[in-house]
Amino acid sequence: MHNSKEISNRVDKKPKMILDYNSTKGAVDTLDQLIATYTCRTKTNRWPVTVFYNVVDTTAYNDFVLWIENNPNWKKNLLQKRRIFLEELGKLLVTPYIEGRKRLPRNEPAMAIVRKIQAADPAKGPSSSKQASKRTRCKFCPSKCDNITHHTGSL
């Protein structure tokens, strides 16, 4: 596009590529302002994460523009259409993963805890039997801690 070193005929003699950039940078500033209203960005020191946040924000805004173009009567009388759109988009994107987590098999320790919680009789409450008086290594603490306890992980 800008392979030649053309200079403008204006008084300031700026290069043509600079003038083209300056004429289109207003749209970038406008998009940045629109995206800043509802953004997913958080403070980070890692530039790839910043680029990812920018891609997500820009994509969400582009999706909103396309949705409004295809459905001009959607929420016509509301002022915060973009906020509602982003909330619905987020719910639609997250719902399959939430449903999938319900069916995913858990690892053995997590499955054991869930079974104990489900099998526990809420009327009983915690038992105070003498059986738990022997001191053993805690099953839930990492081995480097080497915590010794009277309670052996019963819920």
Phi and psi angles of residue 137, each rounded to the nearest 5 degrees, phi first: -70, 140
Phi and psi angles of residue 7, each rounded to the nearest 5 degrees, phi first: -115, 140
User: Quick one: which H or E segment has residue 33?
Assistant: helix 16-37
Helices (H) and strands (E) in the chain, counts: 4, 2
Q: Measure the CA–CA gap between 40 and 58, rounded to whole angstroms.
A: 10
Tell me if residue 31 falls in helix, strand or coil: helix
The rounded percent of the chain whose pLDDT value lies above 90 is 26
pLDDT band at 11 (very low <50, low <70, confident <90, very high): confident
58: nearest Cα among 79, 33, 31:
31
Q: What is the DSSP letter of 13?
A: -
Q: Measure the CA–CA gap between 20 and 16, rounded to whole angstroms.
A: 6
| 113-152 pLDDT per residue, tens | 767 766 765 544 445 454 546 777 776 677 777 666 655 5
Full-model pTM: 0.54
The rounded percent of the chain whose pLDDT value lies above 70 is 72
Domain regions of the chain by residue span: 38-103, 107-119+133-155
Using CB atoms within 10 Å of the CB of residue 57, give its burial: 0 to 12 exposed, 13 to 18 middle, 19+ buried: buried
pLDDT band at 100 (very low <50, low <70, confident <90, very high): confident
Query: Which tokens in the block code for residue 26?
Result: 């207003």
Task: Answer whether residue 59 shows pLDDT above 80.
Answer: yes
